[in-house]
Structure 1
C-alpha cells in the first residue's frame, strides 16, 4: 500500500508511519521539517498554512492519505481537493469532541455533531475538527473518507504531557495525590493501537465515522497509576483522595490532574462512556495499560525525561502547593 501521511513526525502520525513501514508499506510523510521523520519513509516538505505550501504534493499517487490536522479546516479542504484525483482514500483523525454538547452517556457515532465549515479559519477545537471532516467528505465523498473520532490518546511520543506528567511525578517519589475513586473507569487509546487500526482501515477501505478509544472497563484510574509506580520503580505512595476533597482544594480536573474527571459529571460521561462497538467490530484491539505505561516510560528515559510539548496546547500538571493542600485535607 502507498500511504501518504500529512505530518508523520509526531505522536499519532509518527506511530502510524512506524506501524505502516514495519508492515512493509510504502510510506511518504509530508511535514514542515521541524522534526526528523521516522526511518524508512520518503519525506516531503511543506507548510499547509503558507502560500504554495502544498507544492511538494503536486505530483504523486497514493492508495490512502492520513491527516491529523487540528487547525483551520481550510487546510484540510485545500489538501483534500489537491489529492482527490490521485488518492483513493482519505483518513482524517478527528475527535469525539465533534459531538454536540451535552453528549449522553454511551453515545455512539449516531449522536448529533457540532456545526462546522470546511472553509473556516481556526476557531475552536470541536468546530475545527468537524470542519476537517466536512472538508474530507466534500472532496472524497462518503465512500472514500473515514473519520477516526479519537478520545484520550496516550503512549510513546505523546506531546500533550498527560501520561508523561504522571510518570514524572510518580518517579519523583513521596506522597502522590491520587484522585479517586481508585476503581474509576477511564477510556483512552494507545497511539500504537490507534495506528494499527488506521493502517488496517486504510487497507480495508473503511469509510464513515468510528469512535476510537478503548472499550469501557478496559482501564481504571487505579490501574493507570499503579502501572506508573511499577514502571518507574518508584517508592511513591499513592494517596487516594475523594473527589470532593480534590475539588475543594481548587484543583482543575483533566488539566491539573491529567486524565482524571469526577464521575457523574457531563464531561466524564462525554469522554469516558464512549460507545465503541463499531470500532471493536471492525477489529480494534487495545493492549493492557501496563504496556502503554512501560513503553511511554522507556521512551521518556530515552529522550532525557522531558517530553515534547505542543505549542498549541496548555501545559498540564499539578502545582506542588495545590497537591499539598489536597493531601492535607484528605490524608
Structure 2
C-alpha cells in the first residue's frame, strides 16, 4: 500500500491522519469540500481533490483521480454515506471507517468489540443530523462496513472514544486547559474520580494506519489511551505540563446547586465510567503515546491557539459562588 486517500483531512483527526501516512512514506490525497483552511496547501506531497462526499459523482471522480490503495473515511456521518463509499472503493486494499465509542448500546465496563451490543438505528435516525442520534448512525455505519466485508470489500472500522490533542476544534479539552492555565483553584464536579476514556489524536491517526495495514475485513477496533486517568488525574497532568500548581476543589450536587450548577454542566464529566477495551488493536502492534507526552503536546498547541473552550463554560461566576459556599463550610 502506498497511496492513501483521506476523506476529510484538514481539521482534527483527518489532519493528523494525513501527517501519519506522510510520516510512513505514503502518497496522500485529501478529498473534501474545501470549506476549511487546508494546512497542506503548500505541501507538494499532498494532493487535494475538491468535492462533496455526499455527491455520488464527486465521490466517483475522487476514486478515479486518486486511485488510492487505502481510504480513510473521517467524515461519514450517515450510514448511506458509508454504504456508498464501500461501493465506490470496493477494490482498494483497505477502507477504514471512523466510527465511535458512542456506537455501543449498553453501559458496561469495559466495552468490547463483538461483545457489547451496538445501538439500534431506525430509518428515521439514519437520516437525522442531530447529536442525539450520532451513536445510532455510527453503529449503523459499522453494520454497513460488516455487510461490505461479507461482499468481499476489505472494509474495517475504528472506534475512538473522546479524542483530544492539538487542533481540536471541539474545544472540549480546552475548557479545562484554560481553567488550569488561568486559575489557582479549579472546581471539579463530584469526587474527581469519574472516568471518561480519552484517546490522543495522534494515536487515533496511527490506529487508522495500523488497521489499514494489519486489520481484518469486517472487524472493528477500539482506540483509546492504554492508561486511563480520572478527571483529577487529567487536571494534574495538565498542571504538570504547564509547570504550575492548582488546587482541585470537589463539589457534589448539593454544593453545585448553590451556583445553579449540576455535575453534567462540566464537559468531560460522566457519572458512569466509559471505558473501551483496546487489547484487540494493541494485538496488531499499535501502541499509545505516554500520557505526559500527549498532554505536553496538547498544552503547547492550546497555548498557541485562541481556543478557550468558552462554549462549554458553565460560568466562572457560578463556580466562584460554589467555591465561596465550600469555603464557608470548611
Q: TM-score range by the shorter chain?
A: 0.7 to 0.9
Which residue number corresponds to residue 212 of structure 1? Answer: 223
Map residues 1-331 of structure 1 onto 2, 5 A cutoff.
1-33=2-34, 34-38=36-40, 39=43, 40-50=45-55, 52-54=57-59, 56-59=61-64, 60-85=66-91, 87-100=92-105, 102-109=106-113, 110-116=115-121, 120-123=126-129, 124-141=133-150, 144-207=154-217, 208-215=219-226, 217-234=227-244, 237-245=246-254, 247-249=256-258, 250-253=260-263, 256-262=265-271, 268-269=272-273, 271=274, 273-303=275-305, 305-306=306-307, 315-331=311-327
Q: Aligned-pair RMSD on alpha carbons?
A: 2.7
Distance 1:81 1:251, change over 3 A: farther
Which residue number corresponds to residue 265 of structure 1? Answer: none
Instruction: Give the CA deviation at 1:12.
Output: 0.9
Gaps of 5+ in 1: 263-267
Specify the SS of the correspondent of 1:114.
coil
Instruction: Give the CA deviation at 1:319.
Output: 1.1
Superposed CA offset, 1:249-308 (max 9, x none): 543546x4222223xxxxx23x2x3222222322332223222222122212333x327x
C-alpha contact (below 8 Å) 1:73/1:122 kept by paired residues: no
Q: Which one is further off, 110-119 or 190-199?
A: 110-119
C-alpha contact (below 8 Å) 1:115/1:127 kept by paired residues: yes
Gaps of 5+ in 2: none
TM-score when normalising by structure 1: 0.84
Superposed CA offset, 1:146-173 (max 9, x none): 1111111111111111111111122222
Instruction: Give the CA deviation at 1:50.
Output: 4.6
Instruction: Give the CA deviation at 1:140.
Output: 4.3
Distance 1:246 1:233, change over 3 A: farther
C-alpha contact (below 8 Å) 2:210/2:286 kept by paired residues: no
**Number of aligned residue pairs:** 313
Distance 1:58 1:191, change over 3 A: closer
TM-score when normalising by structure 2: 0.84
